[in-house]
Structure 1
Amino acid sequence: MTTASATATSAAVATSDAKENDAPKSTAIPERDYGPEAEIARLQAQADAFTRKTELEKRAVRDLEKEVETMRSRVETQRKKMGGLDAAQRANNQIQKKIKMLETKLDKSLCRFNEAKSHNKTLRLTIDNLRKERAVFAEVYRKLEKDLDAKKADMGVIVEESDRAYEARDRAVAEMAKLKMQADKEQASFENEWRELGKLIEHDRKMKEFMRNRRKVNEDDGKLGTLSLEEEKKLKKKIIKGNWGNIKTKARQSTVQTKVHSYTEAFEKIKAAAGIDDLDALVSNFLSAEDENFRLFNYVNTLNQEIDALEEQISNVKGEIEKYRGDGVGGDGARKKQLKELSDKLLATERKADAYETKHKDAMKTVLQLKDGIWKIYNKIGCNTPANRELLGEEGVNTENMMQYLGIVEQRTNEILQMYAAAQATAKGEASDENRAVDDKKDKETRAMGYAALLSQGPDKPATGGTTLKIQLPTTRETGDEDSDESDVEDDRPLNRDELRAKTLSRLAKRERAAEKEKTHARAPSGGIAGGGGKGGGGVGARRPPAGSRPGSKLGSRPQ
C-alpha cells in the first residue's frame, strides 16, 4: 500500500512538472514585443513553478521517509521473530546436530537391519532344510503307505487262499473218512476171507490126518495099491502143496482186485471232486496244496505268537498304567519341584539375556567410538586418498568396512614406521666413524632387527634398491603361541582404548624379545633394514600401488 502511494505521488509530481514546464512555453511573450516586464513576469512564473515542485518533492521525501521507517520497523520485527543476527547459524548448527543424530540412528538401524537379514537368512536355510526333510519324509510315508496297501492286498489274498485251503482240507478229511470206512469194510471182508481160508486149512489138516491114519493102516497091510510107499508120500505132498498154492493165489488175487477196485473208485471220486483227470497233475496239485497248507499253518502259528506277544505287551502296559496311577499322587510334588526349578532357570536365563543385551549396547557404543577414532586416524595419517576412496566408497566407516579401514591404517602405519626406521638407520650410518664402527654396527643391527620384527607383519612392499623389504599383514595365527594364555572370549569381545594400547605394547615387547632371540641365528647386513643393501635399505622412497590392488595384499581377506 505504501509503495502504491509513493508511486502515485511520484506520478503527480511528474505531471505537475510537465504542466509547469509547458505553462511558461504557452505564456511566454517574445522579448522583442514586451520588454523587461514580460521577462520579469516569465521569471516570476518560473519561480512559482519551482516553488511548487519543491513542495511536491518535500512531500514525496516525507512519504518516503515514512515508508523507510515502516520498513525498518518491519525488518526489526522479522529479526526479533527469527531470533537475532546469529539465528541462521544456530539453526544451521541445530540442523547439523539433527543430521548427525539421524546418521547415528541410521547406522544403528542398518546394523539391526543387517543382523535381522543375517538371522532371516539363517531361518530361511533352516526352513529350506525342513522343507527338504518334509519332502523326504512325505516320500517315505507314501512308500510305506504303498507297501502297507500291498501287504494288505497280499494278506487278503492269503486269507482267501487260507479259506480255500481250509475248505480243501475239510473236503480231504471227509474223503479220508470215506476211504477209512471203505478200508474198514475191506478189512472186514479180508478177515472173512481169512477165516474161510482158515477153515480150508483146518479141513486140509484133517484130511492129512485122515490120510496119515489110512497110510498107517495100509502099511500094516504091506502095500498101498500099485505105488510104492515113497511114491505115494511124494504124490500126497505135491497134491497138498498144489492145493495150498492155489488157495493162496486165489486169496491174493481176490484181495488185490478188491483193493484196486476200491482205489480206482477213490481216485475217480477225487478226480470228480478236484476236476482234474490227469493223475500226475492231481498228485502234484495235492502235494502243492499240502505245502501251502503247511506254510499257512506256519503263518497262522506266527500270527498267534505275535498276538500272544501283543497281548503280553498290552498286559504290561496296563500294569504300568496302574503303577503310574498309583504313583501319580506322589509325583505331583516332584512335578511341582521340577516346575519350580525350571522357573528359576528361566528367570536366570532372562537375567543373563538382559545382561548380554546390556553388554551388546555397550559394545555398540564402543564400536561407534571406534568408528570415530578410526576415521580421525585415517584422515590424520594421510590415508584419505582418491584410490582408497574409490576402493572403500564415500560411505565412511561402518561395521562392514571397519576391518578394511583398519587394514589401510595399519598399512600406512607400517609405511611410516618403515620410513622412520630407514631414516634412523641412515642417520646412524652417517654419524658413524672408524673408531665406533663395530659398536654402531651392532647397535644398528639390533635396531634394524627390532624394526624388521615390527614391520614384518604388514603387506609386501616392493623396494627400489637392491633388496626387498617384505611386510605382511597379521593373520589370525600370528601370535597363537605367544598369546595362548588369553582366552577366546577376551579376544572376541570389544576392547576400549586403554586395553588396546596395553595389548599392543605387550605384543610389541614380545616381538622385540623374539627378535633378540633370533639375532643369534640370523644377522642382518650392516646399513640395511631387515636385509637391506644400502643405508636406507633401498626401500624408503619406493612407490606403493593402491591398497587392496597389490598382489599378496591380505586386505581383501579380512573378516567383515
Structure 2
Amino acid sequence: MMNQVMRSAPNSSTEKEMIAMAEEELARLQRQLRIMEDDRMAFSDETSSKLEKQRRIIELLRKEKAKLCEDINVATCKNQKRKDKRLSKEIYKLLEVYEEYCERVRVEKEEIVEMDVQIKKLESDIKNLRPKSSVTENHFQTRLTSGQKTLQILKNRLDNMVKKFCAILATNKELREEINHLLKERNHFNDVWEKLLKDIHSGKRYMVDLIEQATIAFDQREEWCSKLDALKKRAEVDFVLHSEEMREIQRRLDQYMTLREFLCVKGQKRILKDLEEKERLKKEMQQQNLEDQLEVYETTLKKIQVFCKEEDVDRIAALFLKQEEENFALFNYVNELSHEIESLTYVMDELHEKIDDQIELSNERAKQRQSTISSLQVDLDEATKKAEEDEQEVQKAADNLQKVLNGIEKVFEIVNCDKGPILKLLGENASINLFNVKIYLGTIEKKLSGIITDLYFAEKSMLSHPKKIKTVLSPH
C-alpha cells in the first residue's frame, strides 16, 4: 500500500511538472504568436500603404496616359494637321526671316567692331605720327569730320537694323500670342466636340432602343397578321361547311314539309261528293295564283330590265351574280380592313404604353443619376474637406518633425560630434533630413556612450584614489 502511494506521488509530481512545462511552452508560443501577429500587422500596414500609393500612382499614370492619348488623337486629326502645317510653314518663314536679320545684325556688328578697331588703330597711328607728320590742322580737321560722318552713318545703319530686329521680335511675339490663342480655341473646340460626341452616343443609344422596340412591334404585327390570315382561312372553311350544312338542312326541311303535306293530304277523309268541282275550283285558283305570280314576276322583271337597261335575262342574271360576288368580296375586304385596323390600333396602344413606360423609366434613371451625382458631390466635398484636414495634420506633423530634426541637429552640435566620418554616408546633402537622421542618431549615440564610458572610468578612478579626491577638493 505504501509502495503504491509512493509510486503515485512521483507520478503526480511528474505530471504537474509536465503540465507546468506545457503551460510555460504555451505561454512562450503565445508571446511569439503575438509578436509575430504584431510584426505581420505592421508589415501588412506598411505594404498596404505602399500598395495604395503605388495604385494611386498607377491610376494617375493611367489617367495621364488616357489624357495624352486624347491629346495625341486631337493633335493628329486632319484639320489640326493642316493648321499645324500652315502654322509651321509660317513659323519657318518667320524663322528664316529672323535668322536672315540676325545674320545681318551679326555682320553689321562685326563691321562696327572692325570699324572700331580700325578707328582705334588710326587714332593710335595719328598719335604716333602727329609730331612727325606735316599734316596741317585744317587737313586733320577735315579728315576728323569725315570720320565722324562715317561713324554716324554706321550708327544710323545699326539703329535701323536694331529697329528692324525689334519689329521682327514684336511680330514674333504677336504670332506667339496668336498661336496660344489658337491652342486655347482648339482645346475649347475639343471639349465641345467631346460633349457633342457624348450627346450623339446617348442619342444613338436611344435610337437603338426605339429601333429595337419598333422591330419587336413589327415582329408582333407580322405574327398577328399571320394569325389573322389563318383565322380568315378557317372562317372561310367554316363558312363553306356552314353553307353546305344549311343547304342540307333546308333540303331535309323541304323534304320533311313535302312529306308532311303528303301525309296530311293522305290522312284526310276522302269525300267524293263534289270532288270534281272542288278539284276544278282548286285548279282554277292555282291557275289564277300562278297567273298572278307570273304577272308579278313579269312586272318585276320589267322593272329590273328598266333599272338595268338590259333586255337579256341571262345577262341580267350574270350581272347580278357578278355584282353579288363583288359585294361579297368588298364585304370580306371591309372585314379584313376592320380586323387589321383593330390589330394595328391594339399594337399602337401597346407601343404608346411602352413609350410611356420608357419615358418614365428614363425620367427615373435621370432622377437616379441626379441623386447619384448629388451624393457623389457630397462625398467629394467631404473627401476634399477631409483631405484638407489631413493635409493640415500632415503639415503640422511635418513642422513637428522639422522641429525634432532641428533639435537632433542642435544635440549633434552640443555634443561636438564630428561630421567627417559620416560625410561619405551623407553624400552631397550634409544637412539633417528624414533619410540621414538615423546616421546622426547613431553618431550621437556613439558619442554619448563614449562620454558615459569616460565618466564611468573617471568616477571609478576617483573612487579608487580617495587621496587624490581630497587633494583635489581641499582648498589651496
- TM-score, reference length from structure 1: 0.22
- TM-score, reference length from structure 2: 0.25
Higher-RCO chain (CA-CA 8 Å, sequence separation at least 6): 1
Higher Cα radius of gyration: 1
